C-alpha cells in the first residue's frame, strides 16, 4: 500500500512551503503578522493581540442590557451634555423643522385618467390630509400634537432611544371626522412580558416569523418597566403589526438606524460617541470651573517671621493685643487704583492659576471634529460656527444636508407615508373620497403616491444660489420643480399658481409688474 501515501510533486512543494513558514519565528513587532495575509486579522501583532471581538447575531451584538444602558446614557447626554443636545436638536430642526408637508401626486397614467382629473384628485386628497394633520384631536391619540409636531417627537425619540413605535388605534371622538389615531410608544414600553428572556421568535418585545423574520406583533407594557407603580400591576398587550382581515399596517416602527439584516431593535444616534462625549464634557466643565476660579482674583498676605511683627493674624489673638502689636486695622480689600498700607511684616502675594488654558480650544475642536465625523455632522454645522471662508462653510452645509435628506427619507418611509395611506383608507371607507378600484393594491398605490417636502436648505449667499439654480436649469441638468423645492420648500406648481394669480391681479388693477420685461415684437425676415 505504499502507493497510497505517495504524494505528487505539487503536494510535496506545498508541504515544504508550509514547513518553511511554520519554522520561521513569528513576527512580534510592527512589520506584520506572518500567520495571516491581512494585518487586520493578525493575532500576534502587539497592536492587535488585545483586539479580539466576537461574531454574533444582531440581537446578541445589541443585547437588552447594553441597549438599555446606551438609551439611558443617550438621554442623559441629550439633557445635560452641550454637544450631545446640539447634535440631536440640529438633526430635528433640519430634518423636520416645522413639519414635512404632504403633496399628493396621483399617478394618473397608471389610473388611466387625464392630467386634469389627476390634479383634481390631488386637491381633494390634500384637503382631507390637511383636515386630519393640522388637528391634534384628529391625528393624535393623546389629542395634544399635530402630525407635524408628532414628526419631530418621533424623530427625537428614535434618535435618543434607537427606535420608536407608533400604534394606530381606532378611537371615536365627538366633533372629529376620522377615528384613526396615532399613538407614539417609547422604546422602553416595548419589551417581553414580565421580563421573560428572548426566544427564537421574540426579541425585546418584537414577535416575528421564524422563517422570514417578518414582524408579527409587538408587546406593549402599560407603563415603564423600570418604574414602580403601586396603584396597579403592570400588564402587557399584544398588538398585531398587520391587520388580520385587511393586511393594513397597524404598527409602525420608526428607526434611528437599521444597519444589519434581521435587526429587530435600534441603537441610539449617540451610541458610538458616548465615551468621547462624556470625557469632553468633563474636560470642558473642568476648564470652565478653572476659569471661574481664576476670575476670583485672590491676594495672600504673607506674615513676617517675627512674632512681635504680626506673625499671626489679629483674629487668632482674641481681644488681647501683645505689647508693640500693630493696632486694629480695617479689613484689607482690593479696589480700583487703591493704595493699601499694610501692617509691618505683611507682604502681598498673588496666585496665578494660568487660566484660561490656551490649548483648550484646539483640543476641544479636534475632538469635536471626530465626534461630528461619526455623526455625519461637520463641526461647523454641529457648533453653528462658520468661521472659515464661504466655500468651506457652504461645503460643510451641503455635506450635512446629505445626511439630513437621508434621515428625512427614512422618516417619510417609516412614519409619514404609512400614516397618510391609513388616512386615505379611512376616507375611502367613510365615503369622503370616491376612488374607483381602490381595493386593487396597484391602484391603491397609484392613488396614495405623494411627495413630502420639508423646510428648505437655505443659502449662505442667496444671489449665488439663485444664479447657480438658473444655470443648472438652462443647461438641462435640473428643472424648476427640483430647484423650487430645494430653495423654498414648496412645489413648483404651487408657486406657479400663486405667481399667476398675483400677475393677473396686478394687471387687472393696472399696476406695473415688478422687473417686468415687455416682449419685443418679432422682426419680419426679409427674403433675399
SS3 readout for 121-133 = HHHHHHHHHHHHH
The dihedrals phi and psi of 380, each to the nearest 5 degrees, come to -65, -40
Asked whether the beta carbons of 438 and 428 are under 8 A apart, the reply is yes
So what's the pLDDT on residue 11? 67
For residue 449, what pLDDT band results from cuts at 50, 70 and 90? very high
Mean pLDDT of the chain: 86
Please report where in the chains the cell 446606551 appears, as a residue. Answer: 70
What is the rounded CA–CA span in Å between residue 83 and residue 86? Answer: 5
- pLDDT 10s digits, 197-206: 999 999 999 9
- Greatest Cα pair distance, the chain, in angstroms, is 129
This prediction has a pTM of: 0.81
For residue 246, what pLDDT band results from cuts at 50, 70 and 90? confident
Length of the chain in terms of residues written = 528
Query: In sequence order, which residues have a C-beta less than 8 Å from that of residue 155 and are 6 or more positions away?
Result: 91, 92, 95, 96, 254, 407, 411
So what's the pLDDT on residue 347? 79
The dihedrals phi and psi of 255, each to the nearest 5 degrees, come to -90, 150
The residues facing 299 across adjacent strands are 350
So what's the pLDDT on residue 28? 45
For residue 30, what pLDDT band results from cuts at 50, 70 and 90? very low
The dihedrals phi and psi of 348, each to the nearest 5 degrees, come to -75, 135
So what's the pLDDT on residue 355? 73
For residue 27, what pLDDT band results from cuts at 50, 70 and 90? very low
Asked whether the beta carbons of 205 and 242 are under 8 A apart, the reply is no
Start-to-end CA span in the chain (Å): 107
Mean pLDDT (whole number) for 413-427: 97
Q: Which residue has the higher pLDDT, 291 or 342?
A: 291
Residue 499, pLDDT > 80, answer: yes
What is the rounded CA–CA span in Å between residue 476 and residue 456? Answer: 22
The dihedrals phi and psi of 180, each to the nearest 5 degrees, come to -80, 115
Residue 216, pLDDT > 80, answer: yes
Query: In sequence order, which residues have a C-beta less than 8 Å from that of residue 280 and are 6 or more positions away?
Result: 83, 364, 367, 368, 371
Mean pLDDT (whole number) for 89-116: 95
Q: Which residue has the higher pLDDT, 170 or 524?
A: 170
The dihedrals phi and psi of 351, each to the nearest 5 degrees, come to -110, 130
What is the rounded CA–CA span in Å between residue 140 and residue 179? Answer: 10
So what's the pLDDT on residue 465? 83
So what's the pLDDT on residue 117? 96
Mean pLDDT (whole number) for 170-185: 97
User: In Å, what is the CA distance from 17 to each residue of 10, 25, 250, 299?
Assistant: 11, 15, 63, 78
- pLDDT 10s digits, 53-75: 989 999 999 999 999 999 999 99
Give the highest mean pLDDT range of 21-30, 146-155, 460-469, 516-525: 146-155
Amino acid at each position: 500500500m505504499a502507493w497510497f501515501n505517495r504524494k505528487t510533486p505539487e503536494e510535496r512543494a506545498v508541504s515544504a512551503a508550509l514547513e518553511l513558514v511554520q519554522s520561521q519565528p513569528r513576527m512580534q513587532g510592527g512589520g506584520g503578522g506572518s500567520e495571516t495575509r491581512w494585518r487586520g486579522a493578525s493575532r500576534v501583532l502587539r497592536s492587535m493581540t488585545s483586539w479580539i471581538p466576537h461574531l454574533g447575531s444582531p440581537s446578541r451584538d445589541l443585547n437588552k442590557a447594553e441597549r438599555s444602558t446606551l438609551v439611558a446614557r443617550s438621554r442623559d447626554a441629550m439633557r445635560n451634555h452641550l454637544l450631545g443636545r446640539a447634535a440631536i436638536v440640529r438633526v430635528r430642526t433640519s430634518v423636520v423643522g416645522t413639519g414635512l408637508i404632504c403633496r399628493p401626486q396621483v399617478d394618473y397614467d397608471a389610473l388611466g385618467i387625464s392630467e386634469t382629473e389627476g390634479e383634481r384628485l390631488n386637491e381633494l386628497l390634500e384637503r382631507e390630509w390637511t383636515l386630519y394633520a393640522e388637528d391634534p384631536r384628529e391625528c393624535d391619540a393623546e389629542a395634544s400634537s399635530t402630525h407635524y409636531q408628532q414628526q419631530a417627537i418621533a424623530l427625537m425619540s428614535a434618535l435618543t432611544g434607537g427606535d420608536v413605535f407608533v400604534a394606530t388605534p381606532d378611537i371615536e371622538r365627538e366633533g372629529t371626522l376620522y377615528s384613526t389615531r396615532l399613538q407614539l410608544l417609547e422604546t422602553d414600553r416595548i419589551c417581553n412580558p414580565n421580563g421573560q428572556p428572548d426566544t427564537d421568535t421574540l426579541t425585546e418585545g418584537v414577535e416575528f416569523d421564524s422563517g422570514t423574520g417578518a414582524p408579527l406583533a409587538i408587546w406593549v407594557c402599560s407603563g415603564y418597566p423600570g418604574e414602580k407603580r403601586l396603584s396597579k400591576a403592570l400588564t402587557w398587550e399584544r398588538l398585531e403589526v398587520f391587520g388580520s382581515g385587511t393586511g393594513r399596517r397597524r404598527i409602525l416602527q420608526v428607526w434611528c438606524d437599521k444597519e444589519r439584516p434581521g435587526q429587530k431593535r435600534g441603537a441610539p444616534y449617540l451610541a458610538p460617541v458616548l465615551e468621547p462625549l462624556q470625557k469632553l464634557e468633563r474636560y470642558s466643565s473642568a476648564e470652565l470651573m478653572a476659569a471661574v476660579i481664576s476670575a476670583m482674583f485672590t491676594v495672600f498676605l504673607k506674615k513676617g517671621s517675627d512674632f512681635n511683627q504680626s506673625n499671626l493674624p489679629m483674629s487668632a489673638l482674641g481681644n488681647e493685643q501683645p505689647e508693640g502689636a500693630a493696632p486694629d486695622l480695617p479689613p484689607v480689600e482690593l479696589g480700583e487704583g487703591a493704595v493699601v498700607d499694610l501692617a509691618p511684616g505683611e507682604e502681598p502675594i498673588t496666585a496665578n492659576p494660568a487660566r484660561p488654558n490656551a490649548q483648550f480650544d484646539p483640543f476641544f475642536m479636534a475632538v469635536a471634529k471626530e465626534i461630528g465625523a461619526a455623526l455625519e455632522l461637520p463641526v461647523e454645522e454641529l457648533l453653528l460656527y462658520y468661521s472659515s471662508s464661504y466655500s468651506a462653510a457652504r461645503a460643510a452645509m451641503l455635506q450635512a444636508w446629505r445626511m439630513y435628506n437621508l434621515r428625512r427619507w427614512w422618516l417619510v418611509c417609516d412614519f409619514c407615508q404609512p400614516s397618510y395611506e391609513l388616512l386615505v383608507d379611512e376616507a375611502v371607507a367613510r365615503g369622503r373620497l370616491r376612488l374607483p378600484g381602490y381595493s386593487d393594491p396597484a391602484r391603491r398605490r397609484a392613488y396614495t403616491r405623494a411627495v413630502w417636502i420639508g423646510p428648505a436648505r437655505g443659502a449662505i449667499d442667496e444671489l449665488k444660489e439663485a444664479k447657480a439654480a438658473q444655470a443648472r436649469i438652462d443647461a438641462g441638468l435640473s428643472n424648476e420643480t427640483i430647484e423650487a423645492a430645494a430653495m423654498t420648500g414648496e412645489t413648483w406648481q404651487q408657486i406657479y399658481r400663486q405667481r399667476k394669480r398675483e400677475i393677473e391681479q396686478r394687471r387687472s388693477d393696472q399696476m406695473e409688474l415688478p422687473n417686468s420685461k415687455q416682449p419685443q415684437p418679432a422682426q419680419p425676415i426679409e427674403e433675399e
